Amino acid sequence: MRKAFFQIEDDQIFEGFTDGSTWNGFANPYFDYQTAKTVLAYYQNQPCKESREQWENWDLTPSKTINEKDYYFFGGGYIWYELEPMNFLTDLLEKFCTVQNLPFICADELLNSRNYDRHVNNSYVKGWLESFGEFWNFEQEWNDTTNDRS
């Protein structure tokens, strides 16, 4: 099992686990107990009655136990997408830029642009962009290392 992020359409993103299996080409996520409760609360409170009803009588029983940790299966019939790390990070940066009223460009470009003071005018934004850049680089290196092993 490895960690991954999952989403149905444009709904909330949930951190879970995958064993690599799919259902009709869609991801089969597993969640820990706390996340499983969060997923159910999210979908059981949908405004659409038909959508909400699918989740109302969910049997929250562990599907797998690995190293004394329970995992709850949420695949096999739902259209879950496993988010690719770099796409997830790009979406995260875009949302941050929107909230901060920044142009959606590379974090390094924002930090190193001539208009630095205009775009990055407080320590929170600067710190967030610096941390984001470090994480982006780490993810790139990890992907490169993983692909070299294939």
d(CA 11, CA 6): 10
Query: What pLDDT shows up at residue 117?
Result: 57
How does pLDDT run across 103-134, given as a tens digit for each residue? 888 888 888 775 555 556 678 888 898 888 88
% of residues, the chain, pLDDT over 90: 35
Give, in order, the Cα–Cα distances in Å from 76 to each of 34, 44, 80, 122, 123.
20, 18, 9, 46, 45
How large is the average pLDDT for residues 38-63? 90
How large is the average pLDDT for residues 3-18? 90
Q: What is the mean pLDDT of the chain?
A: 85
Per the model's pLDDT, the better-predicted residue between 88 and 16 turns out to be 16
d(CA 22, CA 89): 23
Query: What pLDDT shows up at residue 150?
Result: 44
How large is the average pLDDT for residues 85-112? 83
| pLDDT at residue 145 greater than cutoff 80 | no
The 10 Å CB-count burial string (b at 16+, else e) for 70-91 is: ebbbbbeebebebbebeebbee
How large is the average pLDDT for residues 9-31? 92
